[in-house]
Homo-oligomer: A and B are copies of this chain.
């Protein structure tokens, strides 16, 4: 229920149910600058804090990452009752205020709008918050808030993280569209497990069962075979892996690319690395406010990248690690190149054939290796990709070598029997890109509603 309080009047309003539209402009908090001094304005915002002191009540009113101080004081415009009413509005309630903008002599350090305050004449409660909040906002913005249970929604940090995430998607799509890629929509419910059958969720599908797609791989490739030439898709991918780590989710957003190339799969690597570089530049140039906001709570170094992107071969990386006494993992999911390279983004090329899926093209010059690559940000893998085998006969041989039941992948192999251009691609994890770009340490911080083996809500 809404409450209305005018000068010397107190009445009870209604839930905004679209009865009528007053001819009234609502000003944004971020637009409250000294240019607006002495203007009478209307504003809708949340009560961030409230502090009563004798005949005065100081409110901080918040809109997303912006806030402003508002003063309700007994005098010409406001009654004693009104000050008391304002002091009793619960934190996080949404209010409409009519107020005069006043310049202040001393900057208000605690607010984003430091040069002005509001002298309130009227105040309505549009939506009243319950007195006890489920999570104190002060707790959510503590710098140690990295644990499993800390969710950032509603805080300014959270606003910034997810605005930046929306920027990553936009930059990804805009860059690829400019390069001639077409966006496609691929199905998530599929009849056969796409990558061998492990780690796949099962769905009841009418009288039969189906699976949730672990990647759009097959569908991207079918589009290439159907002459779409260059395609991308953005959508959920599902992994039924019981991995409870800082970097695994059971549902995440895949940014997927597939393209025909002319002569060499390095054309694909170049397209993908250039796309990443355009994303990094776009974030650096257009999302500084968001980056700074996140850094205040979670300090990190600015993200560094090179042009062209550093590309090392897998065997070089192994040699570097051996030399540094750090060689523990094969294949490499974590890797930092020697510091002299001075970059947070790099590619490892030519992984051993044995550790890649059966549809990976072998290296023509050394059959123990493959035309495959991973990409890394701040030491962690964010993309896995390869040239794919586009010849049905070679694909059959590779599947037999991997002891895959040919019957189950018949449709996949058949799609290459009617002319298929050489092609390659890769899949990028959106949440990992955002986490690593911002120097965060848990992928749950960059997933708005994370899903893991132990979490299905909200």
Contact = CB atoms under 8 A, between A and B. Distances in A.
Interface stretch (A141-149, A203-211, A309-317): A203-211
A336 interface: no
Contact of A418 (B62, B92, B182): B92
Contact of A449 (B186, B227, B253, B393): B186
A159 B15 contact: no
Contact of A419 (B20, B129, B228): B129
Contact of A391 (B1, B170, B365): B1
A34 B63 CA distance: 60
A451 interface: yes
Contact of A127 (B24, B184, B210, B421): B421
A331 interface: no
Contacts of A169: 183
Contacts of A201: 189, 203-205
Q: Which of A15, A18, A204, A391 has the most CB of B within 10 A?
A: A18
A94 B204 contact: no
Given A391-B1, A419-B92, A206 B242 contact: yes
Contacts of A234: 234
Interface stretch (A4-12, A262-270, A320-328): A262-270
A218 B46 CA distance: 21
Given A265-B18, A418-B92, A448 B204 contact: no
Interface stretch (A69-77, A114-122, A160-168, A297-305): A160-168
Given A166-B182, A189-B251, A205-B456, A17 B361 contact: yes
A306 interface: no
A196 interface: no
A371 B422 contact: no
B390 A15 contact: yes
Interface string A351-378: 0000000000110110000010000000
Contacts of A420: 94, 127
A228 B153 CA distance: 10
A339 interface: no
A379 interface: no
A295 B188 CA distance: 30
A135 to B, nearest CB: 9
B127 A18 contact: no
A123 to B, nearest CB: 14
Q: Which of A19, A159, A419 has the most CB of B within 10 A?
A: A419
A88 interface: no
A275 B391 CA distance: 44
A20 B170 contact: no
Contact of A371 (B17, B153, B165, B453): B17
A250 interface: yes
A197 interface: no
Contact of A130 (B173, B266, B417, B453): B417
29 contacts: A17-B371, A18-B266, A18-B371, A21-B263, A22-B263, A24-B263, A44-B262, A46-B419, A126-B422, A127-B419, A130-B418, A133-B418, A159-B226, A159-B227, A162-B228, A165-B185, A170-B177, A184-B448, A185-B447, A186-B448, A189-B201, A189-B251, A201-B203, A202-B203, A203-B212, A210-B456, A219-B449, A235-B235, A415-B458
User: Lowest 3 A-B CB distances belong to which pairs?
Assistant: A16-B422, A129-B419, A166-B183
